[in-house]
């Protein structure tokens, strides 16, 4: 297996069955995996912040940094590789509150809210999720079968 690392404020899409997409250190950040089991296309997005309007220049330079600009691009790139909306399975992880114990900023919560709104407006549901808490996560997706794993605290489970 060949591993493609998705960095912070990054996104990767693949249709190569020998590849695995992985992202590390999802704290308050949102990790979104999409998979089309028919076309065998998967994508993984690692977004830091919910809304691009806080810094339109930064959003233009780094659209994957923001949920509202990253999600449409994730789907667009998957469609470019043959994925179809009717087949796509969506899984989400992250959005914890590691450094915000008092709940002042609620970045993770806001990231997930924006994701849900975007998907809802486009008639897409989240299949499974591992959201919230106070721990970071590592998420990976295998292109050949769409298997999504989440590692946290030294333990791994399938999502």
Q: Give the span between the Cα atoms of 111 and 137, in whole angstroms.
A: 15
Instruction: Please give the residue range of the domain that contains residue 107.
Output: 2-158
Q: Which tens digits make up the pLDDT trace of 129-153?
A: 999 998 999 999 999 999 999 999 8
Total count of domains within the chain: 1
pLDDT attached to residue 54? 93
Q: Which tens digits make up the pLDDT trace of 43-79?
A: 999 999 999 999 999 999 999 999 999 999 999 999 9
Top pLDDT among 12 and 106 is at 12
Q: What is the CATH number of the domain that holds 72?
A: 3.30.1330.200
pLDDT attached to residue 100? 54
Please give the mean pLDDT across all residues of the chain: 95
* Torsion angle of the four alpha carbons 148, 136, 152, 132, in this order, in degrees rounded to the nearest 10: -70
pTM: 0.95
Residues with a known catalytic role = 29
Q: Give the span between the Cα atoms of 26 and 92, in whole angstroms.
A: 11
């Amino acid at each position: 297996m060949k591993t493609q690392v998705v960095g912070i404020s990054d996104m990767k899409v693949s249709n190569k069955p020998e590849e695995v997409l992985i992202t590390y250190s999802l704290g308050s950040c949102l990790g979104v995996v999409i998979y089309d089991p028919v076309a065998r296309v998967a994508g993984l997005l690692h977004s830091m912040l919910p809304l691009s309007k806080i810094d339109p220049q930064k959003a233009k330079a780094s659209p994957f940094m923001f949920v509202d600009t990253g999600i449409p691009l994730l789907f667009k790139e998957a469609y470019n590789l043959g994925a179809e909306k009717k087949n796509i399975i969506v899984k989400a992880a992250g959005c914890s509150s590691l450094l915000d114990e008092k709940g002042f900023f609620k970045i993770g919560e806001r990231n997930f809210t924006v994701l849900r709104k975007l998907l809802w407006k486009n008639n897409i549901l989240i299949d499974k999720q591992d959201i919230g808490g106070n721990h970071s996560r590592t998420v990976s997706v295998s292109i050949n079968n769409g298997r999504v794993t989440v590692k946290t605290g030294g333990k791994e489970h399938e999502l």
